[in-house]
A and B are shown apart, each in its own frame.
Chain A
Amino acid sequence: MKNTDQNERKENLIKTMSWLFGLTEEDEDEIRVLMDQFGVRDFFLNIEGFNLSQRTRTGLMNLQKLILAIESHQTEDADQREGILYE
């Protein structure tokens, strides 16, 4: 059940990427394999090293920047809740 949910979410992620910047079928298959091998976070953190088409790589790099910005935002939110200040 849990694996089915996870796979469904991964497929949704791939579909969304395909909708956003048109993945080729080869890239979709490659991404599926890489996500299973590395996990979703490590996949996005290591895009530069993977053998993907230039168009896909550019799109994924933009998603990588978005993910890092959001994670940083979430961490700061959590730190502020704990009373930690950055200055």
Chain B
Amino acid sequence: MSRNIRYSDDFYKSIHMLTGLPIRRIQEYGRENNPFNILEHPMVLEPNEKQLQKINKLNEFISSYNLLRIEEEQNKIKFSGPQESGRYFTSLLGGVKDKERFIIAFLDNNNGIIETRTHSEGGLGSTVVYPREILKMAMANDCAKMILCHNHRRKGMLTY
């Protein structure tokens, strides 16, 4: 329990220092709510334009950091089961709550990733998918398998 408090405190301070959001407002919000909403649903604290831009940059940073960490851990990203692929796609889509995305991972025979591409980015409730384009990319990658991943804002993430 004390670990939670320490990390919350560090989290509040770092968000304050990195975005310029007032610390008191962050702490008050965190007392009643999940503090990570500040990154996942930035509008909850009604940031100004500059602060919002910084939050979006932090989300980009976290996403790249998570992927690099996984890549370094495994050297090559290779899926041995749905949990690993779930972790991978959560790193890519975890911070995105304001739009739907459709991502495809093209895999070789050993379930190693050849390439991951964002096929489309939509709005709050939908995104467009063109099977023809996906097949073209699959052929270009000479992939043996592919995983299609799509996030829903409310229902969490679905992978196929």
CB proximity of B15 to chain A, nearest CB, Å:
7
Chain A CB within 10 A, most for which of B60, B65, B114: B65
Say whether A16 faces chain B, with CB atoms less than 8 Å apart: yes
Number of B interface residues at 8 Å Cβ cutoff, please give it.
Answer: 30
Q: Which residues of A contact B18 (CB under 8 A)?
A: 20-21, 59, 62-63, 66
Tell me the dominant secondary structure on chain B's binding face.
Answer: helix
Closest to A2 in B: B76
CB proximity of B122 to chain A, nearest CB, Å:
23
Number of A interface residues at 8 Å Cβ cutoff, please give it.
Answer: 32
Say whether B8 faces chain A, with CB atoms less than 8 Å apart: yes
Closest to B36 in A: A73
| Given contacts A12-B60, A16-B61, A40 and B14 within 8 Å (CB-CB) | no
| Given contacts A40-B69, A86-B1, A69 and B62 within 8 Å (CB-CB) | no
CB proximity of A47 to chain B, nearest CB, Å:
13
CB proximity of A42 to chain B, nearest CB, Å:
9
Tell me the dominant secondary structure on chain A's binding face.
Answer: helix
B61, A17: Cβ atoms closer than 8 Å: yes
Say whether B68 faces chain A, with CB atoms less than 8 Å apart: yes
Task: Give CA–CA (A5, B77) in the complex, Å.
Answer: 12
Task: Give CA–CA (A39, B75) in the complex, Å.
Answer: 11
Task: Give CA–CA (A65, B16) in the complex, Å.
Answer: 12
A20, B1: Cβ atoms closer than 8 Å: no
